[in-house]
Chain A
Amino acid sequence: MQIRISDLMDESCPEKIELGAEDRAMARRVNALVMQKLNIAEPKPRRAGKKPLRTLLLVAAIAVFMGAAAYAVSGWIMNMKKTDEPAVGYWRTADAAGNLTDEQKIVFPDAGMILSYEGPQERTNRPEFRCWYLPSEADFGYTDAEGWTGYLSDSGAGAEIPYIVGAGNVRAGNFRTVINGDVTVVKEEDWGGFHVTFLTSDYTHCQGRWVYDRANYVLLFNAEKGWLVTVTGTDDLDTLEHIARELEIRDSGEPAFDGEDNMVESIGMIDPGRG
């Protein structure tokens, strides 16, 4: 029989090769097509800036759900370690018996800070948030009718990725997060249940190709829930702080990890990016 070599290449995707210039308009068209084919209503990304609430709202909301917390956990610790060495780690999955099923080495040559976590292995619900202030219209991420979401961004264009707001659960053990570039801790504060760290990172001496020279970070870590809410972007730190101060954060009621989770080790990064 005659067979095409290209037809035998399904398992041979080259890694670490970036293709295609960013095209947000095309991504939106494709998104609309996909939602249409799946018969999923495509809610408009909302700018959630209608009610001028202040930090007190955040503090009050956190106080309410903290008081109602049902998890008997002793809490999580987030360790932040600066580094000038590449961060090397693995994506490892294992079966129920603990046998390794997949392993992939990951290297972040531009790592500037490594976040690692200690705490319980048990699951908590994932966090969600709504923004009462955004400096520009969000272009990705969908909110429900009341504005709640787990991700919202203005991914900008060129060297500007104005802001990305994301919320998730940390995992203790072999699960680490990298921030690349030359990272500086600007200040640290406590906001009613969240330890908040302000960071800035300079990418001008990095080996990799970063679209921006500098990115800023506001990390809101909730030690009791094991939540990490990140406000990152190329907008200045004051603007990102404004976004962070007017976040309303709550328990989504949805579990953070599903039953199919078989990851036993991972390393990832939270630098703003478009993929």
Chain B
Amino acid sequence: MNEQRLLRRLREGDHAALSEIIALYTSYLYTVASNIMAPQLPREDIEEAVSDAFVRLWEHRAEPVPGKLRAWLAAVVRNRAKDALRAARIAEPLEDDLLELAAPVDMEEEALRAELTHIAREAIDTLGEPDGEIFRRHYFLYQKTEEIAAVLNMNGATVRTKLRRGRERLREYFTERGYSCADPHF
């Protein structure tokens, strides 16, 4: 399927293009949302989060660029899934997920979040492979360490070590850029 053509049709208001995108990406998005929401929340809630991502796509259909549609949808469904957890007062699933950060200057929350996200991506890009993939699988896709270990044919301890190194790199990156940064887990 040519994503460029699909996005063009979507921008033109073609409902059939939206349905084709739903057919293409529902399974992927359901898995991402399920990693966050299951087993605490039922299948219906997970499908609801997935459908919200496609609704947002329709309402913001000029935003995604060809080649990045799946990543755009995945970012949306992650946020929907986390919103659902918070609404149900259920703790987020990942351990070792917190950083203690202090910005070097006062910034508006949205600008600060954008900068932190950008710095995080740069830091992860320096990890090399498979460390970068492991970090993204865990912190973006919410895959558990044992699941990652099985997929990459490693043992769980190795995966956990690489995740710890990734967090260290992240902390170094923030520190080098003027942030006061601590990891509550060190």
Contact = CB atoms under 8 A, between A and B. Distances in A.
Our verdict on whether A and B bind, yes or no, reads: yes
Interface of A: 1-15, 17-24, 26-27, 29-31, 33-35, 37-38, 40, 91, 93, 102, 104, 106, 140-142, 149-151, 155, 168, 177, 254-258, 260-261, 263, 266, 268, 270, 273-275
Given A27-B27, A33-B51, 8 more contacts: A6-B94, A7-B113, A12-B135, A14-B141, A19-B141, A20-B27, A151-B17, A168-B2
Contacts of B116: 3, 8
Contact of A23 (B1, B27, B135): B27
Nearest to A32: B51
Interface string B49-60: 011101100100
Given A8-B116, A13-B70, A31-B19, A20 B48 contact: no
Contacts of A35: 15, 19
Contacts of B118: 11
A274 B28 contact: no
Contacts of A37: 51-52, 55
Contact of A6 (B9, B11, B97): B97
A255 B8 CA distance: 10
B10 to A, nearest CB: 10
A236 to B, nearest CB: 22
B3 A5 contact: no
B55 A17 contact: no
A34 B16 contact: no
B99 A27 contact: no
25 contacts: A5-B98, A6-B78, A12-B120, A12-B121, A12-B135, A13-B136, A14-B136, A15-B71, A18-B28, A24-B23, A26-B27, A30-B22, A30-B47, A31-B26, A34-B58, A40-B15, A93-B66, A102-B67, A140-B20, A150-B9, A150-B16, A261-B8, A266-B4, A266-B66, A275-B23
Nearest to A271: B1
B20 to A, nearest CB: 6
B140 A9 contact: yes
B80 interface: no
Given A3-B101, A266-B66, A21 B48 contact: no
A30 B67 CA distance: 23
B98 to A, nearest CB: 5
A228 to B, nearest CB: 10
Contacts of A254: 12
A6 B139 CA distance: 5
B50 A168 contact: no
